[in-house]
Amino acid sequence: MSAARTTPRAATWRDVVHVMGLPVSVALRGRHAGDDAARAAWAQVQADLREVDAVFSRYRDDSWVSRHNAGRARLADAPPEVREVLALAEEARTASEGAFDVWRPGPDGRTLLDTDGVVKGWAVHRAARHLAELPGTDSCLGGGGDVACWTADPGGEPWLIGIEHPHDPASLVARVPCRRGAVATSGAAHRGQHVVDARSGRPPTDVASVTVVAADLTTADIDATAAYAHGPGALSWLRSRPDRGGLVVWADGRVDVV
């Protein structure tokens, strides 16, 4: 996972809540850090994420995804946000040569929908717009360790994003400066082995974590998951992706930078 580290040039306001079953954190610096406008924007961020959870959570019986998997909601009647996420998922499936897929076989043979690999980054990216609208204010919004960064001045002081070492989460393998963009990491260090190569249905081997730096968190999160799913092919696949940076930490501790 990744963690935001701020620099001391300006007063910084922070908060953390749990939404969508994840720790969601905010850090603001600049004109509106900690004032009423900031708190209102933060409240809007949380409201957006709760709405996403109500639609996509696999842990809520009343969500659209759970109802669909139970045969109680038709794909043809899916709300617009589901269609948007499924379109992103299909693009990712094609680009990853099938290693990434939101459709998986269920225990009874039926095909089930699991949008977790798309929704987290997509939801945080969308919600971050409320913070970016605060004039003269830099923001860093994190969801489950992945972060969307914004600096009011495109050439201003960047946020520093620390990338945890998957073999020792107390240490950092790198620090990444980020102004207007995102950083996402996929691996098994915190959540266990929850990613599989959809082509085989098995967890990836040889790779410990993949971090992707991209223009937005939707892209960074999907590509980090897809690259990780490639296992031994993580680095070569990630290098084929346009306008991406990042790094791959292998199971033996080696680190390759993209």
- Give the global pTM: 0.92
How far apart, in whole angstroms, are the C-alpha atoms of residue 143 and residue 89?
A: 19
Give residues with Cβ within 8 angstroms of 60, minimum separation 6: 53, 54, 66
How far apart, in whole angstroms, are the C-alpha atoms of residue 108 and residue 158?
A: 49
Provide the angle, in degrees to the nearest 10, between the axes of the packed helices 80-95 and 217-229: 40
Per-residue pLDDT of the chain (258 residues; tens, 9 = 90+): 443 333 334 558 999 999 998 999 999 999 999 999 999 999 999 999 999 999 999 999 999 999 999 999 999 999 999 999 999 999 999 999 999 999 998 888 889 999 999 999 999 999 999 999 999 999 999 998 899 999 999 999 999 999 999 999 889 999 999 999 999 999 987 666 779 999 999 999 999 999 999 999 999 999 999 999 999 999 999 999 999 999 999 999 999 999
Structure tokens given for 54: 């109500």
Strand pairing of 137-143 and 111-113? unpaired
Provide the H-helix boundaries in the chain. 36-56, 64-69, 80-95, 116-127, 129-132, 217-229, 234-239
Do 105 and 112 form a contact (C-beta atoms < 8 A)? yes
**Dihedral sign of CA atoms 2, 63, 84, 238 in order:** positive
How far apart, in whole angstroms, are the C-alpha atoms of residue 124 and residue 192?
A: 22
